[in-house]
Amino acid sequence: MLKQSLIFIIMAGNNAKKLAPRPAKNETRSTSVERPPVVVIMGHVDHGKTSLLDYIRKARVAAREAGGITQHVGAYVVRHQSSDAGNQMSDVREMKEITFIDTPGHEAFSKIRERGAKLADIAVLVIAAEEGLKPQTREALKLIQDSKMPFVIALNKIDLPNANQDRVKQQLAELEVYVEDWGGKIPCLGISAKTGQGINELLEMILLMAEMEELKASPEAEPKGVIIESSLEPQEGVTATAIILDGKISLGQTIYTETAEAKIKSLENFLGERVKSLSFSSPAVITGWDKQPLVGETFSTQPSDSVQNKPEAPVPQEISADAITPASTENSGMVNSPAGGEKTFSLVLKADVAGSLEALEAIVNQLFVETEIKPIIQEKSAGPINLANLKIAESTGSVVISFRSKMNLDVKNYAKDRKIKIFESGIIYELQEKLKKLLVETQKPDEEKISGQLEILEIFSEKDKKNHQVVGGRLFEGRVKKNQRFSFKKTDGQVFDGKVLSIKKGKQAMESAEAVNEIGLQIETSGAVEKGDNFEFREK
């Protein structure tokens, strides 16, 4: 049985550098050897990408993913016993490796899918045979075509009774994508990630396509690769995951990106095992970084000018709790600008790794597009939620939005004691729904509560042209204040609003009065006030 595992990879990078080109074909160095292909799995959410890879590596990874969907990109290696095309009579089959990258299908992770497409040699586009092309399917197809890399289509779930492979092929033809059995050149295989039907044939096709691409690399070449994830781990510091494109990296070696450098303190392979070195086409988890490298940056053993000349990073200063002035007793995120100006919503964004953070920020910005509220992101960072994050939230009146970030007990207690709101989830679409609900609630007018009730006992003057009137009544519950709003309901069901202009008890003017009391009121209302009417005074 094959031993396979998963390394989860994601990192932010609005400023990430351009991805390095895939390893060159027809490598001319004498030390060049055939290298395993790097294959990206793409497609619409829930069409079975992770289940397919789960079957390939014989491990229940899909069951461990929150909600059964991929929340991160997975990078790992499988070994497949390929058929010996040169000797049909031989029972000997060569074991060959394939490096897989699994990309999330949710729309929020579009940038991650784009990076995966640029990094890989071959793409597998997974389409559910019973559903056909969906929005993320079309987006993935365009990314694959733009990258000009070879790809194979895997029509999944063909074991279902409503599967219709011909309908999917027709949809592809409408996009001028013609599969082989429809007279085109694109390989298309029916598979079932549930039963395993067609999966061996899919692996054979991947290896055949890799052979035609003549993928080469050299173990003696200068090591280079691409960062595909980075995160901040409490015990290990900055950790980055990379795909090695050429050469070999080893413990103690120093590597550089455009923005960071690492003297490699530890190396892990895709199984999570500590190793001394790793070579081309391998996923590698690297610790020893001075700061988080950006996703999409290339690394090598040669420092770039930006790394050589970069200023020394300042030592982070811990924020003193005494220096914090809370924005409110309970942070709500909403800030009303003075004089009826623009409304803003203050946020602190946290995610476990930076790629998730990138997707989270994209969701936040998209959700606010349809509102009249401007999002203000006070801080965004990858890693566990810490006290410094909460102190920023507290001082700015921000709401914390967290995707898969952990919290220790001290941090939880700090947030609870200071009533800092934290919205969190381990599933991206679930968090998206929570954010939508939060925004809807935010935009609702503040609910008014009844602060007092008064029964009208006397009408002292009729309404004037300004709808002003003087009435007398018995305040039998709560209190009433000058300039307060009120409402009253007539016997026919009509409800009228009004405003208290002044309050008197006898001849003495008052700013407010409390029950039980008989008082006079000058009011402003369009309704016809009569004896026996009941005023309900309201306040937000």
Give DSSP secondary structure letters for 28-65. -STT-EE-PPEEEEEESTTSSHHHHHHHHHTS-HHHHS
Q: What is the pLDDT of residue 143?
A: 82
Residue 191 CB-half CA count within 13 A: 31
Q: What is the pLDDT of residue 315?
A: 37
Instruction: List b or e across 226-261, with b for residues whose CB sees 16 or more CB atoms inside 10 angstroms.
Output: bbbbbbbeeeeebbbbbbbbbbbbeeebebbbbbbb
Please name every residue paired with 495 in a beta bridge, in sequence order, or none if there are none. 489
Average pLDDT, the chain: 78
Percent of the chain with pLDDT over 90: 31
Residue 494 identity: Q
Q: Of 38-47, 153-162, 384-393, 466-475, which gets the smallest average pLDDT?
A: 38-47
Among 366, 443, 348, 440, which Cα is nearest to 403's?
348
Classify burial at 339, counting beta carbons within 10 Å of its beta carbon; exposed 0-12, middle 13-18, buried 19 or more: exposed
Would you say 284 and 241 are in contact if contact means Cβ atoms under 8 Å apart? Answer: yes
More reliable by pLDDT, 387 or 272: 387
Answer yes or no: is pLDDT of 8 > 50: no
Q: What is the pLDDT of residue 45?
A: 73
Would you say 105 and 44 are in contact if contact means Cβ atoms under 8 Å apart? Answer: yes
Would you say 377 and 360 are in contact if contact means Cβ atoms under 8 Å apart? Answer: no
**pLDDT level of residue 206 (50, 70, 90 thresholds):** very high
**pLDDT level of residue 380 (50, 70, 90 thresholds):** confident
Answer yes or no: is pLDDT of 480 > 80: yes
Mean of the pLDDT values across residues 368-376? 78
Q: How far apart are the first and last CA of the chain?
A: 66
Mean of the pLDDT values across residues 478-491? 91
Say how far apart CA 444 and CA 447 lie, in whole Å: 8
Other C-beta atoms closer than 10 Å to the C-beta of 309 total 8
Answer yes or no: is pLDDT of 512 > 60: yes
Q: Work out whether strand 94-102 and strand 73-82 pair parallel, antiparallel, or are unpaired.
A: antiparallel
Among 177, 96, 165, which Cα is nearest to 130's?
165
Which residue carries 């998209």 as its tokens? 366
Which residue carries 């989270």 as its tokens? 360
Highest mean pLDDT: which of 71-75, 329-333, 379-383? 379-383
Would you say 516 and 474 are in contact if contact means Cβ atoms under 8 Å apart? Answer: yes
Mean of the pLDDT values across residues 240-246? 87
Answer yes or no: is pLDDT of 73 > 80: no
Query: Which strand (E) or helix (H) includes residue 348?
Result: strand 343-351
Q: What is the pLDDT of residue 213?
A: 87
Answer yes or no: is pLDDT of 351 > 70: yes
What DSSP character marks residue 82? Answer: E
More reliable by pLDDT, 162 or 241: 162
Say how far apart CA 335 and CA 366 lie, in whole Å: 19
Q: What is the pLDDT of residue 243?
A: 86
Tell me the per-residue pLDDT of 394-422, one tens digit each, with 9 for 90 and over.
888 888 988 888 888 998 999 888 889 88
Q: Work out whether strand 449-459 and strand 512-514 pair parallel, antiparallel, or are unpaired.
A: unpaired
Query: Which strand (E) or helix (H) includes residue 98?
Result: strand 94-102
Say how far apart CA 181 and CA 185 lie, in whole Å: 9
Among 205, 75, 186, which Cα is nearest to 141's?
186
What DSSP character marks residue 511? Answer: S
Would you say 263 and 269 are in contact if contact means Cβ atoms under 8 Å apart? Answer: no
Q: Of 47-51, 179-183, 210-214, which gets the smallest average pLDDT?
A: 47-51
Tell me the per-residue pLDDT of 296-342, one tens digit each, with 9 for 90 and over.
788 999 887 655 555 444 333 333 333 333 333 345 555 544 444 56
What DSSP character marks residue 468? Answer: E
More reliable by pLDDT, 234 or 380: 380
**pLDDT level of residue 129 (50, 70, 90 thresholds):** very high
The angle at the Cα of 322, spanning 335 to 392, to the nearest 5 degrees, equals: 40
Total length of the chain? 540
The two three-digit tokens of residue 349, written as one number: 């964004």
Highest mean pLDDT: which of 43-57, 60-74, 95-109, 384-398? 384-398
Answer yes or no: is pLDDT of 119 > 90: no
More reliable by pLDDT, 194 or 366: 194
Q: What is the pLDDT of residue 65?
A: 42
- Alpha helix positions (H), 102-164: 110-119, 135-147
Q: Which domains does the chain have, with CATH numbers?
A: 36-214 (3.40.50.300), 224-306 (2.40.30.10), 321-443 (3.40.50.10050), 449-539 (2.40.30.10)
Would you say 234 and 273 are in contact if contact means Cβ atoms under 8 Å apart? Answer: no
